[in-house]
Amino acid sequence: MDGYLFNRRDFLLGLAGSTLAFAGLSESIAEAAPLDKVATRQGAISDLQRYRGLIGSLKGFSATIIREHLAILERYRHKLAEVRSQDRMIDLALADPIASKWRDHVLSCLELQNAVRLHELYFDALTPKDVHIGQRVSNVLKETFGSFDQWWVRFRATAIAVRAWGVFAWDNYSRHVVICGLDRDSEWPVGLEPLLVVDMAEHAYVLDFIGRPLDYLDAWLARVNWTVVEARLLKASGY
């Protein structure tokens, strides 16, 4: 059962050119699709193409770490398509909460779908340019946390405390922005609309910031595209 899932905490990239081999997937999954045959979605651009403008242009981040991180995203996307394609080949009558193929399928779909979406949110909000925070987000941070700096202290501490994602989000229930963190891709809280996420898995920073996750977070913050965050807040909150 667990062989079909993967715990981001448990996998650590060998790195330095071997990232794909440990794309956060279980050994059995990694073996299922040879690294040199990672499929590009038919008729769709690859993530390496989609985000090519970020490779080698993000101050503080090497081209290698961005390229390999994008390859991981592509691999998640490929595995999601592969798992989804098995949807009609599993006997629903044998579904069982202790161990069953359908259980593996359901949980894998959730984990992979979130992994793809969270990585898109991460890369979509990065930019080589210096984009200053907008008035709307600035006001919300001030109203909720007291100041941008107080928001950052709390966000940074939360990101450091988790093993997958630091999250800044709009809460549809409280109608306020919130900070939270995830250890796993599948843990997304009910009712939250993502505004900004930072990847805290080792593969996101170890190559360039080994043993220095705080420096990674500082470099990441400098590359946040606040225009994207502003648009997400407007869409989520309506103001």
- φ and ψ of 38, to 5 deg: -60, 120
Least CB distance from residue 168 to Fe ion, whole Å? Answer: 17
Cα angle 144, 157, 51 (rounded to 5 degrees) comes to 90
Cα distances (Å, whole numbers) of residue 161 to 41, 126, 158, 197, 214: 35, 22, 5, 14, 11
Residue type, 144: T
The residue with its CB nearest to Fe ion is: 199
> Least separation, in Å, of the C-beta of 166 and Fe ion?
12
Q: For the CB of residue 108, give the shortest distance to Fe ion in the complex, in Å.
A: 17
Give the whole-angstrom CA distance, residue 63 versus residue 69.
Answer: 10
The C-alpha atoms of residue 223 and residue 205 are separated, in whole angstroms, by 14
Q: Which is nearer to Fe ion, 55 or 204 (CB)?
A: 204
Applying CB under 5 A, the residues found at the interface with Fe ion are: 199, 201, 204
Distances (CA, A) of 152 to 83, 155, 167, 168, 205: 38, 5, 12, 10, 19
CA dist., res. 124 & res. 55, Å (int): 13
Which of helix, strand or coil describes residue 8? coil
Q: Which is nearer to Fe ion, 177 or 204 (CB)?
A: 204
Q: How far is the CB of 117 from Fe ion (least distance, A)?
A: 12
Least Å distance between CB 62 and Fe ion?
A: 15
Minimum distance from CB of 40 to Fe ion (Å)?
Answer: 19
Nearer to Fe ion, 104 or 185 (CB): 185
Residue 53: both structure tokens together: 């403008």
Choose between 192 and 204: whose C-beta lies nearer to Fe ion: 204
Closest to Fe ion by CB, 30 vs 201, is: 201
* CB-nearer residue toward Fe ion: 120 or 218: 120
By the 8 A CB rule, do 71 and 46 touch?
A: no
